Amino acid sequence: MSRSRRAGPYALAAAALVFVLAPAPAAAQQEVVAELSGLVTRGTDALPGAEVVLHRVSADEAGEIDTARTDTAGGFRFVLPDVPREDQDGVVYFASVLHHGITYFGQPVTRAIQLDSLYRVETFDTLTAPAEGAPVPVDTRYIVASEEADGWVLTDLFELDQRAPRTLVAQEGGVTWRHPLPAGASDAEAGGGDVAPEATVVSDGELRLTGPISPGLRTVVLRYRVPALEGLEVPIAPGTGVVEFLLREPAPNVDVVGLVPVAAVEMQPGVLFRRYAMESPPGNAIRVTRAEEETSLPVEWIAVVTALGLALAGLIAWGRRPSSVAVAPDPAGAPDAVDLRNALLLEIARLDTRLDDASLDPAERERLRARRAELVARLSRRA
């Protein structure tokens, strides 16, 4: 069984399994067989001859349990040892494919209802980015500011729109994408999103990605401290789409130059966030200044952010924790416990894949083991 070091983000596509009820004698209990049937693609084309690895993850263990080769039409099939369940005792299944040195992951399978359609793993050929990084547009940007006992903390979510038809990879010693951070940003901590934390570097006042960026919308999450709220200037890349700044109450009365105030949002009972937003804001930065007087809500701008909310609930939840895992938003605006648990399990599986690399540096191996122990402890507390 081939095992490799994780080298890139996992591809999120429509999850699937085919659920087969095997006939049984009338006197016996009906036997249930779960069958995963899927397709591996390279871009828009089927990828024949690819090795597909099936992973099984639970609170107690994680690892690879089977492999298969895709047929001439890119198809593959696994029989699962049990049917995925949504309860606490259930497990998570997913498949991965190594292509051109990058491991691509299919969507986690956690519920029997997902056994209705074709499971997909998307892979792509690679494209080497310039040494200084590729100009990947920022489609959406969320900045969440919270006051803590020792100062202000920003949780910064970038949703990148990687429009190239191939996965961007860095040159040796180079980066795939970069973005300036506010002056004085410190204690940066990466996590969540579609880019591995170890491939997210903060250096010389910049956020730099050294890991691959596959096509589509990809999120990067960074948490850092800033010296003060008033006077804060957050750089905005040219061409950025929607920008939203969320300020946890209670907070000083401020204006955010470059954005407009919109309706506040209560993410949890009693936890209110003041909001400022704009589509394609002018200039190359937004600035937080002391408000001279109370202003009324400009109703004409409310429509600007009616579609906002992507990853917002998960982002807020992540920003209140010391470490992070990306979580899909709940439609009602609250973090989904099942999604968070599944994300924890998936990150544990990724770490296990990396720890299987015999050439891993001892110091890095120890760091990954400590990270895995932390995630397992968090998972145990949620059980």
For residue 268, how many C-alpha atoms fall within 13 Å in the half-sphere facing its CB? 11
Residue 99 and residue 144 in one domain: no
Only one residue has tokens 């120890």, namely: 366
pTM of the shown model: 0.69
Model confidence over 110-150: pLDDT tens digits?
887 787 789 999 999 999 999 999 999 999 999 999 999 88
Number of compact structural domains in the chain: 2
Q: Is residue 357 part of a domain?
A: no
State the average pLDDT over residues 27-48.
Answer: 82
Average pLDDT of the chain, as a whole number: 79
Task: Identify the pLDDT of residue 112.
Answer: 79
Judge if 162 and 264 occupy the same domain.
yes
Looking at the fold, whether 103 and 172 belong to one and the same domain comes out as no
- Confidence (pLDDT) at 83: 84
Q: Which residue do the tokens 């547009």 mark?
A: 137
Would you list the DSSP string of 160-193?
A: EEE-SSSEEEPPTT--SEEEE--TT-EEEEE-SS
Domain boundary among 69, 100, 124: 124
Query: What number of residues does the chain have?
Result: 383
Whether residue 22 has pLDDT greater than 80:
no
> Which H/E stretch holds residue 203?
strand 200-203
Whether residue 175 is found in the same domain as residue 98: no
User: Which carries the bigger pLDDT value, residue 108 or residue 297?
Assistant: 108
Are both 165 and 67 inside the same structural domain?
no
For residue 304, is pLDDT > 80?
no
Confidence band for 215, pLDDT divided at 50, 70 and 90 = very high
Q: What is the mean pLDDT of residues 56-78?
A: 92
214 and 189 in a common domain: yes
Whether the CB-CB separation of 238 and 204 falls below 8 Å is answered with no
Q: Does residue 200 share a domain with residue 107? A: no
**Which domain CATH number covers 166?**
2.60.40
User: Based on the domain organization, do 77 and 197 belong to the same domain?
Assistant: no
Q: ω before 250 within 30° of 0 (cis)?
A: yes
Q: Which of 33-42, 186-195, 246-255, 329-338 has the lowest mean pLDDT?
A: 329-338
Q: What is the mean pLDDT of residues 10-37?
A: 47
What range does the domain containing 108 cover?
18-124
Residue range 69-79: average pLDDT? Answer: 96
Sheet order of strands, 285-290 included: 233-235, 285-290, 254-257
**Orientation angle between helical segments 312-319 and 337-355, nearest 10 degrees:** 70
Phi, psi of 344 (to 5 degrees): -60, -45
Q: Is 103 in the same domain as 156?
A: no
Statement: residue 3 has pLDDT above 70:
no
How many alpha carbons fall within 13 Å on the CB side of residue 248? 19
pLDDT value of residue 204: 92
pLDDT tens, residue by residue, 314-359? 454 444 443 333 333 333 333 344 555 555 666 666 676 677 677 7
In-domain check, residue 377: no
Assess whether 260 and 306 both reside in one domain.
Answer: yes
| pLDDT band per the 50, 70, 90 thresholds, residue 193 | confident
Of residues 69 and 25, more confidence is placed in 69
Cβ(147)–Cβ(247) below 8 Å = no
Residue 36, token pair as written in the block: 């995963």
pLDDT of residue 159: 95
With 0-12 CB in 10 A as exposed, 13-18 as middle and 19+ as buried, what is 231? middle
Residues 28 and 156 in one domain: no
Please tell me which residue, 193 or 176, carries the higher pLDDT value.
176
Could you tell me the pLDDT band of residue 225, with boundaries at 50, 70 and 90? very high
